[in-house]
Chain A
Amino acid sequence: MDLLEFARGPALQWAAYILVAGTIWRIVGIVLLEKKPDYSEPRKSGGYPAAIKVIWTRAFTAEPFAKATLYPKMMAYVMHIGLFAVIFLFTPHIVFFEGWTGFDWPGLPNSVIFFIGVATLVSGVALLVRRLTNPVLKLISNFDDYFSWFVTLLPVVTGLLIPVRALFRYEDLLAIHILSVALLLIWLPFGKLGHTFLVFVTRGTTGMVFERRGAKT
């Protein structure tokens, strides 16, 4: 078994098992937690409309912080949209998802994806530099923040190396890329990358609680 076979086979399989088990573990663990009794009089009705509202409004910065957070917000948007594009609009990736789900969709030309990949990487590095240079951010950052950054951008770097044939042969670069994806999938449920599947749940919950307590959402 060569490196590529290992990456496409056992490595990806175990990563998938850990991803599935870990994600369900996190979700079930949260859903089954006992809700704290709220003895206060509800200010507003709350409910799902409030959840949907906050899911939407939290996508934008509140006015008082708009100027201060413009740069990281922009970089974060570039990085997240870039990640979405390189993951879901690169044809070999679409083929990968098609083999898994049976669905396919149109992709972007490779040159466009390459450009987006570079932009994603640059924005990720910019966010790391900010984390390292901003005293407050640096103080509240821990291993999870740095490791999550690392495993997120590692597949981007290894993916960008493939078309330029840097350092290794194509099949070795492809294997390294798949292994880096496997590492991402393994870490995803356990660290702060859990926001991938929890972000809308947590935002919605926050919205419902805030609405009930009469906070501005």
Chain B
Amino acid sequence: MKNKPTVGEILQAKGVSRRGFLKYCATTASLLALPPAMIPRIAKAIESARRPSVIWLSFQECTGCTESLTRSAAPTVEGLIFDAISLDYHHTLQAASGDQAEAARHAAMEENEGGYLVLVDGSIPMGNPGFSTIAGISNYDMLMETVAGAAAVVSIGTCAAFGGIPGANPNPTGAVSVGDLVKDKPIINVPGCPPIPMVMTAVLTQFLTFGQLPEVDKYGRPLAFFGQTIHDRCYRRPFYEQGKFANTFDDEGAKAGWCLYKLGCKGPTTYNACATVKWNQGTSFPIESGHPCLGCSEPDFWDKGGFYEPLSTGNFGSGAKVAGAAAAGVALGAVAAVAGRRRQAKYTKEA
């Protein structure tokens, strides 16, 4: 590891200017809610850090999380930071395959015992080990073997963080999250379907800088990015307050860019940084494109009612059960009336 180039050397070789590098450090400090005094420390730590070994495990997933990281429209400093890590194992990106790929994973684990990061995307099927295997190894066995010597685990995407779509009702594979299985390692969840690239790289930067993972919320998500709701930071929020809503996707309200609450927006209950960091180099985010937030960074988002059902829609149960309650009411009323008539007759007789 001592022979590996530092991140600073790699960035220099890639043609990143000092100005551009410091700009990235300042942005990262800002995103992580760190004071400006920390910027030189971040810069120094990143520059001098040796390439950390990262093992990326992909289980029951769609590769969207990897796509999110790699499909940038233009190379960015964030992308180069990601390049600067030593990605020793990644099914989609690595050239090696078969035994060679597994040998690379084992080599990385041995060489960096206790110091490597494990990034996981995808949930782990516990219903049957055969539901998802890699090189004949079940996802569960590969995860537990790999995390044993890891410094920390980062669950990338909602599937790894919370079970995601594979874990949605009726969960045919018995899918569970990384946190359901790994109990003895620091875990940070970076959910989203997919997660924001900047959030992933900022978490890695924090690890490079301080050697520890950032402060997290009750779901293990970095507070700097998941501390506020989409609704709180949404540029359409004033329309919500004014009571101006789009009722359909093509009405005047939609054209005027009014609030999408009535079209099922889950922004008020979704904690993520989409409204501030945005996507595609800060171009926009789903609400800006005219679609309600699906709440993809929240646990069980797939099972929390219809995507186009407003948040305040209640569930009164089936009509049959309501009718049953009404019938029960009639019966109880009749019994009460009979009892009342008997009481009346008794009092009349006594009088």
Tell yes or no: B334 within 8 A of A by CB: yes
Chain A: residues with Cβ within 8 Å of the partner, total of: 42
Contacts of A100 in B (CB 8 A): 314, 316
Contacts of B317 in A (CB 8 A): 13, 16-17
Give CA–CA (A23, B330) in the complex, Å: 9
Contacts of A91 in B (CB 8 A): 243, 245, 261-262
Which of B43-51, B197-205, B319-327 interfaces with chain A?
B319-327
Q: Is B344 a contact partner of A34 (Cβ separation < 8 A)?
A: yes
CB proximity of B216 to chain A, nearest CB, Å:
15
8 Å CB contacts to B: which residues of A1-49?
2, 4-5, 8-9, 12-13, 16-18, 20-34, 36
CB proximity of A192 to chain B, nearest CB, Å:
18
Which of B78-86, B125-133, B303-311 interfaces with chain A?
B303-311
Partner among A4, A95, A108 whose Cβ is within 8 Å of the Cβ of B269: A4
Partner among A16, A92, A107, A109 whose Cβ is within 8 Å of the Cβ of B322: A16
Give CA–CA (A29, B315) in the complex, Å: 28
In the complex, 19 of the A-B residue pairs with CB atoms within 8 angstroms, ordered by the A residue number, are A13-B315, A13-B321, A16-B325, A17-B324, A21-B329, A24-B326, A24-B330, A25-B332, A25-B336, A26-B333, A29-B334, A34-B341, A95-B313, A99-B309, A100-B314, A109-B243, A110-B241, A170-B268, A170-B269
Contacts of B333 in A (CB 8 A): 24-29, 31-32
Closest Cβ neighbor of B328 among chain A residues: A21
Tell yes or no: A96 within 8 A of B by CB: yes
Give CA–CA (A5, B315) in the complex, Å: 10
Q: Is B314 a contact partner of A99 (Cβ separation < 8 A)?
A: yes
Tell yes or no: A51 within 8 A of B by CB: no
Closest Cβ neighbor of B329 among chain A residues: A24
Partner among A12, A29, A92, A174 whose Cβ is within 8 Å of the Cβ of B261: A92
A4-B269, A29-B337, A99-B312 given; 14 more Cβ-contact pairs under 8 Å:
A2-B299, A13-B316, A20-B322, A20-B329, A21-B328, A23-B329, A24-B332, A24-B333, A27-B333, A28-B332, A100-B316, A107-B243, A108-B243, A110-B243
Tell yes or no: B240 within 8 A of A by CB: yes
Per-position contact with A for B201-244: 1 when CB-CB < 8 Å, else 0? 00000000000000000000000000001010000000011110
Tell yes or no: B340 within 8 A of A by CB: yes
Q: Which 10 pairs from chain A and chain B are nearest by CB?
A: A28-B333, A24-B329, A32-B337, A29-B336, A99-B313, A13-B317, A17-B325, A92-B312, A21-B329, A25-B332
Give the interface of A toward B (CB within 8 A).
Answer: 2, 4-5, 8-9, 12-13, 16-18, 20-34, 36, 91-93, 95-96, 99-100, 107-111, 170-171, 174, 178
Instruction: Give the interface size bracket for B toward A.
Output: 35 or more
Give CA–CA (A110, B238) in the complex, Å: 10
Give CA–CA (A107, B326) in the complex, Å: 31
Give CA–CA (A171, B217) in the complex, Å: 14
Q: Is B344 a contact partner of A21 (Cβ separation < 8 A)?
A: no
Instruction: Take A33-B337, A111-B241 as given contacts and tell me if A95 and B329 are in contact as well, using a CB distance cutoff of 8 Å.
Output: no
Closest Cβ neighbor of A35 among chain B residues: B344
Q: Is A95 a contact partner of B316 (Cβ separation < 8 A)?
A: no
Give CA–CA (A213, B261) in the complex, Å: 56
Closest Cβ neighbor of A110 among chain B residues: B241
Give CA–CA (A27, B330) in the complex, Å: 9
Closest Cβ neighbor of B218 among chain A residues: A169
Instruction: Take A21-B332, A29-B333 as given contacts and tell me if A96 and B261 are in contact as well, using a CB distance cutoff of 8 Å.
Output: no
Contacts of B337 in A (CB 8 A): 28-33
Q: Is A95 a contact partner of B262 (Cβ separation < 8 A)?
A: yes
Q: Is B329 a contact partner of A93 (Cβ separation < 8 A)?
A: no
Partner among A12, A26, A95, A110 whose Cβ is within 8 Å of the Cβ of B242: A110
Q: Is A33 a contact partner of B269 (Cβ separation < 8 A)?
A: no
Instruction: Take A32-B334, A95-B310 as given contacts and tell me if A8 and B329 are in contact as well, using a CB distance cutoff of 8 Å.
Output: no
Give CA–CA (A17, B325) in the complex, Å: 5
Closest Cβ neighbor of B303 among chain A residues: A5
CB proximity of A90 to chain B, nearest CB, Å:
9
CB proximity of A174 to chain B, nearest CB, Å:
7
Q: Is B269 a contact partner of A174 (Cβ separation < 8 A)?
A: yes
Contacts of B245 in A (CB 8 A): 91
Contacts of B241 in A (CB 8 A): 109-111
8 Å CB contacts to A: which residues of B255-308?
261-262, 268-269, 299-300, 304-305
8 Å CB contacts to A: which residues of B65-97?
none
